[in-house]
Amino acid sequence: MHLPEKLPLPCQPRVVALLMNELRQEMPSLRRLNQLFGSDPVLAAWLLAQANAGVYQLSGAVQSIPQAVALLGVAQLRGLQKKAYGHIAQRVVGLEQLGAFSSACARLARSLAQALSLDGGLVYAAGLLHGLGYLVVQHTPVQAVTGLAPWDPLRPHWEEKNLGYTAAQAGAHLLQQWGLPAPLTRLIDELEHPLDMAEFDPLVAVLHLAVWVQRGYYSHWPEREMVRNFPIEVALAVGLDMDVVLQQEAPDWSQSVY
């Protein structure tokens, strides 16, 4: 998989502005910082990349946004905010909606994981960061002819057929290059086919279900279509009922501590 050397990865202007305001405080709120870094795929990726940098001697050990925020000092977080400020000039169509979609996937994945007593922080990060792949794929030559929204349920099949890889895999590849932990990048890399893994991982199944549900909602699928196309085999593999998955609430990000 070949990725462009320079990727203009944009951050959401509203999130950057709110982060700037919070970091101006004498004692920024950790909860608020978790909320803001946990609502933008690019910001979250930079945060986790820096937290896993060799200088902290924790390479590969920081797997969630709260861990990263707690590890880095305010000076380092302000540095990330300034970097983000330099990446909001480019106007990207649908960026705010893509951010909202990725956040919704992350919240739902965390809710399902917690219902199964699995690692909610790890799968939240994976759900949010999988959206980074859509920004990566935007810069491939074939992208211009797709006509499918990033969250279209048919999009992964189209990508596999025309690109040879999915947006999630492109994002996972980039995050691997940035030094993010293997458990996190593997969740994203295996997202589309959880039942094809050599060793089944319930967190991948949870992530798949969360992303699939949000794709349907953001594509305005009617309830009948959601039920008819629901990946029942994946849900059964982790012991989740279809009604539970479809009715599970993904709490508003402003109420989140992740």
pLDDT by residue (tens digit) across 98-150?
Answer: 889 999 999 999 999 999 999 999 999 999 999 888 888 877 766 555 678 88
**SS3 assignment, position 209:** helix
HSE, CB side, 13 Å, CA atoms: give it for residue 175. 36
What per-residue confidence (pLDDT) applies to 258? 38
Among 202, 170, 203, 205, CA closest to 189: 170
Distance of CA 172 to the CA centre of its chain: 10
**Which residues does 237 contact at the CB level (< 8 Å), separation at least 6?**
194, 195, 200, 202, 205
The two three-digit tokens of residue 126, written as one number: 């994976």
**CATH, range 95-250:** 1.10.3210.10
Among 179, 183, 185, CA closest to 56: 179
Identify the segments of the chain with pLDDT beneath 50: 250-251, 253-258
From first CA to last CA, the distance across the chain in angstroms is 31
**Which residues does 210 contact at the CB level (< 8 Å), separation at least 6?**
105, 106, 108, 109, 112, 123, 127, 250
Domain ranges of the chain: 13-85, 95-250
pTM of the model: 0.90
| Residue 17 φ then ψ, to 5° | -65, -45
Q: What is the DSSP letter of 198?
A: S
Cβ atoms of residues 122 and 64 within 8 Å = yes
**Which residues does 3 contact at the CB level (< 8 Å), separation at least 6?**
136, 170, 173, 174, 177
Which secondary-structure segment (H or E) carries 22?
helix 13-23
> Residue 164 carries which side chain, given as an amino acid letter?
G
Among 75, 81, 70, 67, CA closest to 15: 81
The two three-digit tokens of residue 139, written as one number: 């810069």
Which secondary-structure segment (H or E) carries 171?
helix 167-177
> Residue 221 carries which side chain, given as an amino acid letter?
W
